[in-house]
């Protein structure tokens, strides 16, 4: 999956470098899709660790209020 994302990223960067008129809406859409995919992967990988952190913070906030 990461090889595919790298190819898409490389294609977008190459196209942005060659375009004289600037980035188009399609290119912005590809960049947005890449950022969304990276965010979803990060949330999936680190979601369990963050869940316990948020639970602890919630408990502390409840004690302080």
19/40: higher pLDDT:
40
Each residue of 23-49: pLDDT tens digit? Answer: 677 888 899 999 999 988 988 888 777
Among the residue ranges 6-10, 15-19, 24-28, 50-54, the one predicted with the least confidence is 15-19
In which band, very low, low, confident or very high, does the pLDDT at 50 lie, cut at 50, 70 and 90? confident
CA 23 to CA 15: how far, in whole Å? Answer: 8
- Count of positions (residues) in the chain: 65
Domain boundaries, the chain: 2-64
């Amino acid at each position: 999956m990461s090889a595919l994302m790298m190819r898409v990223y490389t294609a977008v960067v190459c196209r942005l470098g060659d375009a004289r008129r600037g980035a188009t809406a399609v290119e912005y859409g590809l960049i947005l899709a890449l950022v969304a995919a990276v965010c979803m992967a990060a949330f999936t990988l680190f979601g369990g660790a963050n869940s316990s952190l948020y639970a602890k913070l919630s408990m502390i906030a409840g004690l302080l209020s």
